[in-house]
Structure 1
Amino acid sequence: MSNLKSALIQLQCELVAERNLVNPNELSWLQYDILNLLRQKGPSSPSLLAEQLHIRPSKFSKAIKTLKEKGYVIQTVNQQDGRGLLTSLSSAGRTFLDSVDAGHTYLYETADAVLSTEEKTLFTQCANKLIRAFEEERMRKHVPNN
């Protein structure tokens, strides 16, 4: 196995472990991603959110049910068309994300402490380049998950 492949696998494992520490069995990754997307993009229709997450609407409906039960999201009638729903992040959802963000601060603090200024710049550039490549590949494939 190449050093790059090994490093990427190990980094992914470490990031998953960190994510599990700040969100211990609270929500699924998909549910967290829905909340984070709502925080970034603002209120949106369920179909558009499902499309942005590359999942089927039925999978989105199942994921959103728990978020509504926990009070993390609110769904209201879309005032523009009067028919569809508009999904929004609630104040409880924002509070939950803020608590998760506090846990993520550890990742930043660790990177900040162990990387030189030049390494931080290079890591940021490389990470952003990989993120764009992964996003573009997903968009190119546009294969909904089951």
Structure 2
Amino acid sequence: MTPRDGSMSPWSPEPSGLEAALTHLQCLLVARRSRANPEGVNWHQYDVLELLRVRSSMRPSELSDALDVSRQTTSKALRVLKDLNLVTQRALGEDRRELSTSLTPEGEAFLARIARGRQDIGQLAASVLTEGEGALFAVFCEKVAAAMEAEPVR
């Protein structure tokens, strides 16, 4: 942004057209996600929910291993998700120390609501892009995502 006096800001040069477009799209996607997620579930917690959706139930240690995070990180995520009534845990075995974690009906409804939001955005994109443009957009998104995953965060 250019200050009112017309000088360039020392901290932020004018973004390129591509940077501005990506920033605008990111802001809109985050705003839509926030509206669909009033519970404030973060990305890691969402990954836990998705994994439970796919596998139906898992022990916390299995969740940690599958998501490649510490047991402490998984334990913290599960505490929040239990407080939100999105997951439930039940004791396994005779010593009852081992737990099985699964989605609650509220957790399933949460994931369905998030999926509807993704579908709505997909349908919106399909409505304004030709089939060829949509295919190219998907390829370009995957290409940028792969580069972001390969690049260390600065």
Same fold (TM over 0.5): yes
The Cα offsets for residues 61-102 of structure 1, whole Å up to 9 and x where unpaired, read as 2221132233321223456xx863332222221112112322
- In structure 2, the partner of 1:105 is 119
Unaligned runs of 5+ in 1: 142-146
- Number of the residue aligned with 2:101: 87
TM-score by length of 1: 0.71
Change (3 A) 1:47 1:2: farther
Q: Distance in 2 between matches of 1:93 and 1:19?
A: 16
Q: Kindly provide the amino acid, as one letter, of the partner of residue 59 in structure 1.
A: T
Determine the structure 1 residue equivalent to 2:32: 18
Higher helix share: 1
| TM-score (norm: length of structure 2) | 0.68
| Structure 2 residue 22 is matched with structure 1 residue 8 | yes
- Do 1:44 and 1:86's aligned partners in 2 also have CA atoms closer than 8 Å? yes
Partner of 2:40: 27
Structure with the larger RCO, 1 or 2 (CA within 8 Å, 6+ apart): 1
Partner Cα separation in structure 2 for residue 78 and residue 2 of structure 1: 56
What pairs up with 1:1-146 in 2 under 5 angstroms? Answer: 1-24=15-38, 26-29=39-42, 30-77=44-91, 84-135=98-149, 137=150
State the secondary structure of the residue aligned to 1:71. coil
Bigger shift: 6-15 or 109-118? Answer: 6-15
Q: In 2, are the aligned partners of 1:34 and 1:49 still within 8 Å (CA)?
A: yes
Identity across the alignment (%): 37
Q: 1:89 corresponds to which letter in structure 2?
A: L
Spell out, residue by residue over 1:32-56, the C-alpha distance to the aligned partner (whole angstroms, 9 max, x if none).
3321232234423323423444543
Aligned to 1:144: none
